[in-house]
Amino acid sequence: MAPEPIPGPPAPRRRTTVVLNAGSRSGAAARDRLPALLARHDLADARVLSVTSGAELAATLERALAEGPDLLVVGGGDGSVSCAADRVAGSDVVLGVLPLGTANDFARTLEIPSALEQAVEHLATGKVVDVDLGRCDGRGFLNVASLGLSVGVTQRLRPGLKKRLGPLAYPVATLGAYRGHEPFTARLEFPDGDHDTLALHDLMQVAVGNGRHYGGGNAVAPNASVDDHLLDVYAIERGRLRDHVSIARFLKDGSFVEHEKVHHLTTRRVRVVTDEPLPVNLDGEIAATTPATFEVQRNALHVVVPQTSRAAELDGPRAAAADHG
């Protein structure tokens, strides 16, 4: 039975800026409702900046942060939130999340509700917790960085498909990517010496997880957490169709990592080398290329979550074991 969440003091009143990506799946609808909801929850003074595409997002975030907010709220999908997280990591700025995308896996990890009014309410009444940030050659990611099949999925997840099908767009895109997938070879190196180098062949995918959820609610591993100061690394061999079906059955709870065709371990730093450079997907954005080094930035972000959230309460079992192992 899961432990009861530890309540924290409500977030104090802050200078708040909201950056809303109206191009996200629910962003346009939220834009009209947001001012009234902010006022209803004592956030009427919040400054709201709206963008219509990811291309505008980076510059708008920089403008918002230049104004010195205490609380930066991002309304959008995982890509939008990850873009903001990369910029506030290591600072005193607190990050708030309004899950308006298709998958909303970071919000799922933090147990932030998908309903807009409830998410706004928790901005005012929630508690602030510290979470880790993954980095790929310096660039931040919240959920998962991956190469192989997932890149093909991302390439097929067009905005129109996500708007039409919502979370169902992921299995549809996965089926298409699977049909055209070319297996690859990868070498996993561990600069800290905590594991021997792994040379792996005939692979479908390599993934490096910082958070718990990815791909519309799948779990990285049974014990994956966003605050354990560890990365969960897994590599899936191609295998046979029945192997893939067997693995797919256990994606939701993460127990697929126990399958004989899956290699899984935890670490703080891993370098992935492939025979030919391969693109790397960071939280749904193809933003890097192998060879690439992945590491965890501990307690990099301060994030507002609901008082009832059980996320970011781990600074304990796995992290302590890793520190003393």
* Active-site amino acid positions: 285
Report which of 298, 255, 291 is spatially closest to residue 276, judged by C-alpha positions. Answer: 291
Report which of 232, 304, 214, 240 is spatially closest to residue 268, judged by C-alpha positions. Answer: 232
Block residue for tokens 């699977």? 178
Q: How many CB atoms lie within 10 A of CB 52?
A: 15
**Calpha distance 69→304 (Å, rounded):** 14
And the tokens for 285? 């954005």
Strands 94-99 and 292-305: parallel
CB-count burial class (<10 Å; 0-12, 13-18, 19+) for 84: buried
The alpha-helical segments, DSSP class H, found in the chain are 27-40, 54-66, 78-88, 105-110, 116-125, 149-156, 159-165, 169-179, 241-248, 317-324
